[in-house]
Amino acid sequence: LAKTTQPISMDSYEGQEVNITCSHNNIATNDYITWYQQFPSQGPRFIIQGYKTKVTNEVASLFIPADRKSSTLSLPRVSLSDTAVYYCLVDQDNFNKFYFGSGTKLNVKP
């Protein structure tokens, strides 16, 4: 089953672009990659999902190389309110099992 590896923490400043990379070496053919954001004492919030190449929505972009063994979440122009833990999740849809990693704690400074 695919497991994910992310940096434990990252620091950034307001207005900067932040890129968080996740490794998922054992990703299976039918698996999607999903990113969630979580604030303290709240449930995770869906950010973006993708299968290959690039996906963009109103809050983020997701870049997935051809081998799909990693993915990069890109947050444009972060603000203080983006300080949170970000999780990369591989949707093991074939097995109906979903594994969150330990997440990346993003700290945005003024």
Partner 1 sequence: ETGVTQSPTHLIKTRGQQVTLRCSSQSGHNTVSWYQQALGQGPQFIFQYYREEENGRGNFPPRFSGLQFPNYSSELNVNALELDDSALYLCASSSLEIQGYTFGSGTRLTVV
Minimum CB separation from partner 1 for residue 14, in Å?
26
Q: Show contacts with partner 1 in window 2-31 (CB under 8 A).
A: none
Which residue is associated with the tokens 């997935």? Answer: 64
Our finding on whether 45 is near partner 1 (CB under 8 A) is yes
Our finding on whether 46 is near partner 1 (CB under 8 A) is yes
Minimum CB separation from partner 1 for residue 92, in Å?
8
Minimum CB separation from partner 1 for residue 29, in Å?
18
Nearer residue to partner 1 within complex by CB, 32 or 63:
32
Q: Show contacts with partner 1 in window 61-100 (CB under 8 A).
A: 87, 95-100
Q: How many whole angstroms separate alpha carbon 13 and alpha carbon 79? A: 8
Nearer residue to partner 1 within complex by CB, 16 or 38:
38
Task: Judge contact between 69 and 13, C-beta under 8 A.
Answer: no
Residue type, 104: T
- Measured CA to CA in angstroms, residue 81 lies from 13, 21, 106, 107, 108 at distances of 11, 20, 10, 10, 8
- Measured CA to CA in angstroms, residue 28 lies from 53, 58, 63, 92 at distances of 16, 28, 17, 8
Interacting residues toward partner 1 by CB under 8 A: 34, 36, 41-46, 49, 87, 95-103
